C-alpha cells in the first residue's frame, strides 16, 4: 500500500518495496538485483532510508517483468524507455514464427526403430509429423503426392559414397532436407556428407537435436549463433553471481534446511555447462545449431532454478547477500 508515514510529499503516492513486489510479481531479491546491476529504476529514500517507489516505477517494473517472462534478457532491455518497452511487449504477444500448423515443416520418419519416437515427434512445436514408415518404398506407395519438407532416415553405417545415395534418395522423396541417423561413420564420410540439403545425427534419435537442426535450417534461429546474448535477448541474465551462490550454500545449517545448498550447487553446475556449450567447438552448421540449442535450454533451466532459489531466500528470511 502507499507509504504515507515516510513519504516526504503527499502530491504523489509512494510505495515501499513490499507493496511494489506484490503489485509487480517480482521478489524483493530480484528487484534489488535489477536495481543494483541494471539501474532499472531509481527509487527515492525516506528519512529512515527506506526505498520509496513512484507509480511510474511500478509501471516500468511491470513492463520489464512481462518481457522477461516472455524470454527477454533483463540486461538487453533495462536501458529502454517506457515507450519502447510497451512496443516490444505488444510485439511479443503475436504468434511465434512457426507456431501455426501450416507453417511447420512437414516431416516423415523412415526406419523401424523410430516407432518409439512417434508420440514425441507428433508433439513437436517445430515440425509437423506426417507419418512413420518402415521403409522408403512404403511411403512411395502410400503417399505419392505428399509434399515432404524433412525426411529422417535410419542409416546404420555411413561411407564415403553415402552422400551420392542420400542425394538420390532426397530427390526421390522430393524432400527439402534429409537427416540421416547413423550408428557408425568415419570422420571423412561425415565431412563429405554435410551440405545444405543433407546432414547426419548420431543414433539414437534425439528429438531435441532434431528440432535444433530443423529450426536452424528453416530459419527459426540464426545460423551459427552461439553468442551469450543471441538476437532477441533470449538468454536470461544471471540472478546470482558465483560469490552469492557460494554464500547461500553455507546458509543451510543456519535454517535447518538444505534447499539453498542444493539449489546453489545445481545452479553452479548449470552455469558451468552453459559456458561450456557456448564455447564448444562446432565442426559444421548442424553442430553449431545443436550447441546453440543446448546453450539456450541450459540458460532457461538455470533461470528457473534461480527463481526457485530467490523464492527460498525470501521465504526463509535468509541474511542479506554479500555486496547487496
The neighbour count for residue 69, using CB atoms within 10 Å, is 10
What does DSSP assign to residue 10? S
Question: What is the rounded CA–CA span in Å between residue 302 and residue 51?
Answer: 29
Are the C-beta atoms of 132 and 88 separated by less than 8 Å?
no
Return the number of other C-beta atoms located less than 10 Å from residue 60's C-beta.
19
HSE, side-chain direction, 13 A CA sphere, residue 183? 5
Q: What is the pLDDT of residue 216?
A: 73
The predicted model scores a pTM of 0.42
| Distance from C-alpha of 314 to C-alpha of 318, rounded to nearest angstrom | 7
- Cell triple for 125: 512445436
Alpha carbon distance 154, 141 (integer Å)? 19
Q: Point out the residues of the chain with pLDDT beneath 70.
A: 1-13, 71, 90-103, 140-147, 194-196, 219-235, 251-257, 279-289, 316-324
Q: Are 155 and 162 in contact (CB under 8 A)?
A: yes
Rounded to whole angstroms, the Cα distance separating 217 from 62 reads: 36
Cα–Cα distance for residue pair 238/230, rounded to 1 Å: 15
- Look at residue 154 in the predicted model and tell me its pLDDT: 93
Rounded distance between C-alpha atoms, residue 213 and residue 249, angstroms: 38
The pLDDT assigned to 318 comes to 65
Q: Kindly give, in sequence order, each residue whose CB lies less than 8 Å from that of residue 167, ignoring residues fewer than 6 positions away.
A: 197, 198
**Ramachandran region, residue 264 (left: φ > 0; alpha: ψ -120 to 50; beta: rest):** alpha
First to last CA, the chain: 25
For residue 39, CA distances in Å to 33, 74, 241 come to 9, 11, 17
Q: What is the pLDDT of residue 152?
A: 94
Residues 246-259: b if buried by 16+ CB within 10 A, e if exposed: ebbbebbeeeeeeb
* pLDDT given at position 91: 66
Round to whole Å and give the CA distance between 248 and 101: 45
Amino acid at each position: 500500500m502507499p507509504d504515507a508515514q515516510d513519504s516526504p510529499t503527499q502530491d504523489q503516492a509512494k510505495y515501499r518495496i513490499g507493496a511494489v513486489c506484490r503489485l509487480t510479481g517480482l521478489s524483493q531479491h530480484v528487484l534489488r538485483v535489477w536495481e543494483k546491476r541494471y539501474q532499472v529504476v531509481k527509487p527515492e529514500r525516506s528519512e529512515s532510508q527506506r526505498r520509496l517507489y513512484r507509480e511510474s516505477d511500478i509501471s516500468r517494473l511491470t513492463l520489464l517483468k512481462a518481457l522477461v517472462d516472455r524470454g527477454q534478457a533483463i540486461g538487453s532491455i533495462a536501458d529502454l524507455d517506457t515507450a519502447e518497452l510497451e512496443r516490444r511487449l505488444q510485439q511479443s504477444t503475436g504468434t511465434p514464427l512457426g507456431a501455426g500448423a501450416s507453417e511447420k515443416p512437414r516431416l516423415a520418419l523412415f526406419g523401424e526403430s523410430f516407432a518409439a519416437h512417434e508420440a514425441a515427434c507428433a508433439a513437436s512445436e517445430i515440425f509437423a509429423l506426417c507419418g512413420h514408415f518402415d521403409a522408403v518404398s512404403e511411403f512411395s506407395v502410400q503417399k505419392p503426392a505428399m509434399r515432404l519438407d524433412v525426411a529422417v532416415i535410419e542409416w546404420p553405417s555411413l561411407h564415403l559414397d553415402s552422400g551420392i545415395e542420400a542425394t538420390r534418395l532426397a530427390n526421390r522423396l522430393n524432400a527439402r532436407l534429409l537427416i540421416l541417423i547413423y550408428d557408425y561413420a568415419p570422420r571423412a564420410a561425415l565431412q563429405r556428407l554435410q551440405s545444405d540439403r543433407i546432414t547426419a545425427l548420431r543414433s539414437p534419435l534425439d528429438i531435441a537435436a532434431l528440432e535444433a537442426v530443423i529450426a536452424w535450417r528453416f530459419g527459426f534461429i540464426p545460423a551459427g549463433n552461439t553468442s551469450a546474448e543471441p538476437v532477441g535477448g533470449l538468454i536470461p541474465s544471471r540472478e546470482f553471481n558465483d560469490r552469492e551462490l557460494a554464500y547461500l550454500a553455507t546458509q543451510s545449517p543456519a535454517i535447518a534446511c538444505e534447499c539453498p545448498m542444493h539449489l546453489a550447487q545445481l545452479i553452479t553446475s548449470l552455469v558451468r555447462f552453459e559456458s561450456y556449450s557456448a564455447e564448444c567447438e562446432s565442426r559444421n552448421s548442424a553442430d553449431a545449431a545443436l550447441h546453440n540449442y543446448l546453450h539456450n535450454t541450459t540458460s532457461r533451466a538455470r533461470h528457473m532454478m534461480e527463481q526457485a532459489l530467490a523464492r527460498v531466500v525470501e521465504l526463509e528470511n535468509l541474511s542479506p547477500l554479500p555486496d547487496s
